Amino acid sequence: MNPTLYPDISRPTLLIDPQRVQKNIQRMVEKANTAGVRLRPHFKTHQSAQAGEWFRPFGIQAITVSSLEMAAYFAGHGWKDILVAFPLNLRQINLVRRLSEFIRLGVLVECAGHVEALADAVERPVDVWIKIDSGSRRTGLAWNDSHAVLDLAGHVRQQPHLNLRGLLTHAGETYQSQNPDEVVQRFRRSNQRMNQVRQFLEQNGIDGLEVSVGDTPGCSLSDNFEGVDEIRPGNFVFYDAQMAQLGACREADIAAVVACPLVAFHPERQEAVIYGGAVHFSKDSVTENGIAAYGWAVLLNERGWSPRIPGGALVRLSQEHGIVRLPPEVFSSLTIGGLIGVIPAHVCLTVSALGVYRTLQGEWIETFVRASAPAGRG
Amino acid sequence: MNPTLYPDISRPTLLIDPQRVQKNIQRMVEKANTAGVRLRPHFKTHQSAQAGEWFRPFGIQAITVSSLEMAAYFAGHGWKDILVAFPLNLRQINLVRRLSEFIRLGVLVECAGHVEALADAVERPVDVWIKIDSGSRRTGLAWNDSHAVLDLAGHVRQQPHLNLRGLLTHAGETYQSQNPDEVVQRFRRSNQRMNQVRQFLEQNGIDGLEVSVGDTPGCSLSDNFEGVDEIRPGNFVFYDAQMAQLGACREADIAAVVACPLVAFHPERQEAVIYGGAVHFSKDSVTENGIAAYGWAVLLNERGWSPRIPGGALVRLSQEHGIVRLPPEVFSSLTIGGLIGVIPAHVCLTVSALGVYRTLQGEWIETFVRASAPAGRG
């Protein structure tokens, strides 16, 4: 690495390549347009009002978030159509009411308790999506329990301010696929299941419902969006080692890398110690040859960063230390006090852990994590 | 749970039991006093100036931190003797100089590059500790490479402002022990190795060195501190599921739990969905019967929280969702919109992820994470 590169970086710092971000957004926008589905990108990955602006030139107006406070943050930055893709948190029902007064707000329900609390709280229309479990077994009504879905849909339709918008799923099982074909198959199976539920509801008098699906692997790899009205991928804006390993992107599509100071070398065991630990990367991993890697090592350069160093991996994480495994020949090009790049295993968690990032051009991007009230405060 | 408990908590919130904290501190202080060793607690666990005050009545004046910016934070809150237990980061050498001008600063070195950069930078005395790898293979000079240690010690002694204080290790291998006996054995072995190095240096004209060791399992379980001058445990202030599983504490010593809103129930598979995910807990785990658990479930009550719900475990984490496995009979006492408690697997990472906590009595405790400039800024 050029030793004069980034003289101002002294701590683990997430760098973003805006050109790659632009291409990633454009690719997904074009795919959605071709398929005739609405792209409602999930903003939980970049978590930033500034980064959100990168989507507007592409005509994006509707977004997804993962918490009500994240909805409030983006509403405060001018987004008018926000879906909170998380089970309704009854302890924040006042925030639901407030948001419904000035934006088009979408929320998820999956039980009568959600519907009743919502109906009691709001005085303006709210879009209601029924959360369906189409195979991931995280949460939602089981796709094959059609009668339960029908009952809940009927319950929603009886409430004055609740606009039953559709059925929503997150086919999280695509992340556990072994290869891209399996991702596509699982995505397709999930979409078919959603349409079976929709059809059953139509046959029983509940019609006009949309189907919303969303996961970056499926939306990146599939070209078949039959029966889908809306997609909600998020990770695709940056991508990461998990997505590249799964084949959901090329390594060259990854737009995020953490620049980490090199603090100690152990070439005898092919390891370098970096300032960059679990509090910076979080602790998600990709598994390679049975070994967990928390990230992939690259060399930083004037244009961004190199392809992955062969075998270069962040193999251990303490609170602040990281241990990077490197081939012996790389050590001669590195110096203690220099920087090395690490592509995170799971960039959404790294963004949240670091709370701020900067572009290759040096612009600092603030996020919700830092801008909002401390997590944990009511 | 009493439904009126914590009406103001609407998001994942770390609760601290100050009585247990007091007992945990007192126990370690008494142990150190009995053994005649200096307790220099690691503040990376609580990361808070307010929590730091809890140590002062016990006579604690010297502390350990894991980064230079954390040193600056605690220096700014009146701590005058701070050891940065992390390999010297040459990119923050200006901060080393600044800190050395107004506190007693200790830093680690493990190569000539560290020593030379330090000697060039400082104009006031700095305590220098040589980092020894006594078995954890994280970083430091190998304990059995005595000549390398001797060379480096001689190098430090030649520099005008560098005060060679001693030899330092972190016997991180205790965390991987299978039982308390093994922790004690590994801790003892590490201490013996440190003293072999010290003895070799003494025989070669470098005398008067201290030995500093530190890890919560070893310091909690061992009563033998022979050859040790200073201990630096940190986690013991709160403890967590990892420490209880290892036998380093009793479950009743754990002083930290995350209160999480219950957002959906799936009693048919004995699971509840909580607002509380990887961005709140981070993603460290304990392994139980071959299954990773990110935390242990408890019931919150007026006095704090119950013993662990039998088998209750946080078994899956998405970005914001957590899946808690619960025995069937517990569901009848829970309501959607209620709270459940989760003892974190690794509390240091949870503190860092949440950035703020509150006592059972309702006092909010700010941390370094929130008070400092955003991570990643130089």
Domain positions in chain A: 18-237, 255-371
ipTM above 0.90, yes or no: yes
Inter-chain contact A353–B356, Cβ cutoff 8 Å? no
Calpha distance B233→B46 (Å, rounded): 12
Contact B294, B314 (CB under 8 A): yes
- Count the residues in chain B: 378
- Pick left, alpha or beta for residue A37 (phi over 0 → left; psi -120 to 50 → alpha; otherwise beta): beta
Contact B56, B22 (CB under 8 A): no
Which tokens in the block code for residue B199? 């003895």
How far is C-alpha A111 from the chain's CA centre?
A: 25
- For the four alpha carbons of B282, B283, B285 and B289, in that order, the dihedral sign comes to positive
Which tokens in the block code for residue A36? 């005739």
Q: What is the pLDDT of residue A376?
A: 39
Calpha distance A335→A262 (Å, rounded): 7
- Across-strand partners of A314? A295, A324
**Contacting residues of A for B323, CB less than 8 Å apart:** 138-139
Contact B214, B134 (CB under 8 A): no
Given B113, B264, B318, which is nearest A336 (Cβ)?
Answer: B113
Calpha distance B287→B276 (Å, rounded): 19
Which tokens in the block code for residue A184? 């596509």
Which tokens in the block code for residue A177? 């696929």
Q: What is the pLDDT of residue B3?
A: 63
The 3-state secondary structure of A307-361, one letter per residue: CCCCCCEEEEECCCEEEEECCHHHHHHCCCCCEEEEEECCHHHHHHHHCEEEECC
Contact B209, B10 (CB under 8 A): no
Inter-chain contact B378–A269, Cβ cutoff 8 Å? no
Per-residue model confidence as pLDDT tens for chain A (378 residues): 566 799 999 999 999 999 999 999 999 999 999 999 999 999 999 999 999 999 999 999 999 999 999 999 999 999 999 999 999 999 999 999 999 999 999 999 999 999 999 999 999 999 999 999 999 999 999 999 999 999 999 999 999 999 999 999 999 888 989 999 999 999 999 999 999 999 999 999 999 999 999 899 999 999 999 999 999 999 999 999 999 999 999 999 999 999 999 999 999 999 999 999 999 999 999 999 899 999 999 999 999 999 999 999 999 999 999 999 999 999 999 999 999 999 999 999 999 999 999 999 999 999 998 665 444 333
CA distance B279 to chain A (A): 6
In chain B, count H helices and then E strands: 12, 22
CA distance A201 to chain B (A): 23
**Contacting residues of A for B352, CB less than 8 Å apart:** 279, 319, 353
Interface list for A 82-101 with B (CB within 8 A): 86-92, 95
Calpha distance A84→A96 (Å, rounded): 10
Q: What one-letter code names the amino acid at B370?
A: R
- Residue B325 contacts A where some CB pair is shorter than 8 Å: no
**Contacting residues of A for B335, CB less than 8 Å apart:** 113
- Residue A118 contacts B where some CB pair is shorter than 8 Å: no
Inter-chain contact B66–A8, Cβ cutoff 8 Å? no
Contact B28, B233 (CB under 8 A): yes
CA distance A85 to chain B (A): 10
The 10 Å Cβ neighbour count of residue A101 is 10
Calpha distance A95→A71 (Å, rounded): 10
For residue B92, the chain A residue with the least C-alpha distance is A10
Calpha distance A74→A72 (Å, rounded): 6
Which tokens in the block code for residue B349? 């990472």
Which tokens in the block code for residue A105? 């707000």
Inter-chain contact A282–B279, Cβ cutoff 8 Å? yes
Nearest alpha carbon to residue A164 among A119, A222, A213? A119
Calpha distance A273→A263 (Å, rounded): 6
In three-state secondary structure terms, A227 is coil
Q: Which of B8, B13, B170, B377 to mutate to test the interface with A (most CBs of A within 10 A)?
A: B377
Calpha distance B201→B141 (Å, rounded): 14
CA distance B352 to chain A (A): 6
Q: What is the pLDDT of residue B4?
A: 76
Q: What is the pLDDT of residue B378?
A: 34
pLDDT one-digit tens code per residue, A326-375: 999 999 999 999 999 999 999 999 999 999 999 999 999 999 986 654 44
- Across-strand partners of A142? A133
**Contacting residues of B for A314, CB less than 8 Å apart:** none
User: Tokens 């059809």 correspond to what residue?
Assistant: A199
Q: Which of B6, B15, B136, B279 to mutate to test the interface with A (most CBs of A within 10 A)?
A: B279
Calpha distance B195→B336 (Å, rounded): 57
List, for chain B, all residue ranges whose pLDDT scores fall below the cut of 70. 1-3, 370-378
**Main-chain dihedrals φ then ψ at residue B363, nearest 5 degrees:** -80, 130
CATH topology of domain B19-237: TIM Barrel (3.20.20)
The 3-state secondary structure of B193-252, one letter per residue: HHHHHHHHHHHCCCCCCEEEECCHHHHHHCCCCCCCCEECCCHHHCCCHHHHHHCCCCHH
Inter-chain contact B321–A139, Cβ cutoff 8 Å? yes
Q: What one-letter code names the amino acid at B147?
A: H
**Contacting residues of B for A352, CB less than 8 Å apart:** 279, 319, 353
Contact B10, A69 (CB under 8 A): no
Interface list for B 246-305 with A (CB within 8 A): 261, 263-266, 269, 273, 275, 278-280, 282-284
- For the four alpha carbons of A288, A292, A295 and A298, in that order, the dihedral sign comes to negative
CA distance B206 to chain A (A): 24
**Main-chain dihedrals φ then ψ at residue B366, nearest 5 degrees:** -80, 155
Given A10, A95, A319, which is nearest B378 (Cβ)?
Answer: A10
Alpha carbon of B132 to those of A25, A273, A294, B119, B175: distances in Å?
48, 14, 25, 20, 18
The 10 Å Cβ neighbour count of residue A74 is 21
CATH topology of domain A255-371: Lyase, Ornithine Decarboxylase; Chain A, domain 1 (2.40.37)
Q: Which of B173, B320, B340, B369 to mutate to test the interface with A (most CBs of A within 10 A)?
A: B320
Given B87, B261, B321, which is nearest A263 (Cβ)?
Answer: B87
Inter-chain contact A356–B370, Cβ cutoff 8 Å? no
Q: Which of B67, B91, B281 to mutate to test the interface with A (most CBs of A within 10 A)?
A: B91
Q: Which of A139, A173, A284 to mutate to test the interface with B (most CBs of B within 10 A)?
A: A139
Given A13, A266, A283, which is nearest B376 (Cβ)?
Answer: A13
- Residue B110 contacts A where some CB pair is shorter than 8 Å: yes
For residue B277, the chain A residue with the least C-alpha distance is A349
Q: How do A271-275 and B286-288 pair as beta strands?
A: unpaired
Calpha distance A51→A29 (Å, rounded): 16
Contact B355, B370 (CB under 8 A): yes
- Residue A357 contacts B where some CB pair is shorter than 8 Å: yes
Q: How many alpha carbons lie under 13 Å from residue B59 in its C-beta half-sphere?
A: 8
CA distance B322 to chain A (A): 9
CA distance A10 to chain B (A): 5
Nearest alpha carbon to residue A254 among A265, A266, A245? A245
Contact B32, B38 (CB under 8 A): yes
Burial class (CB in 10 A: 0-12, 13-18, 19+), A7: exposed
Cβ within 8 Å of residue B99, ≥6 positions away:
B68, B71, B72, B75, B82, B105
For residue B275, the chain A residue with the least C-alpha distance is A89
Angle at A310 between CA A325 and CA B319, to 5 degrees: 65
Nearest alpha carbon to residue B16 among B354, B373, B375, B370? B354
Alpha carbon of B74 to those of A2, A10, A146, B102, B262: distances in Å?
34, 19, 58, 12, 36
CATH placement of domain A18-237: 3.20.20.10
Q: Do domains B19-237 and B255-371 have the same CATH topology?
A: no
Query: What is the number of CB-based contacts under 8 A between chain A and chain B?
Result: 209
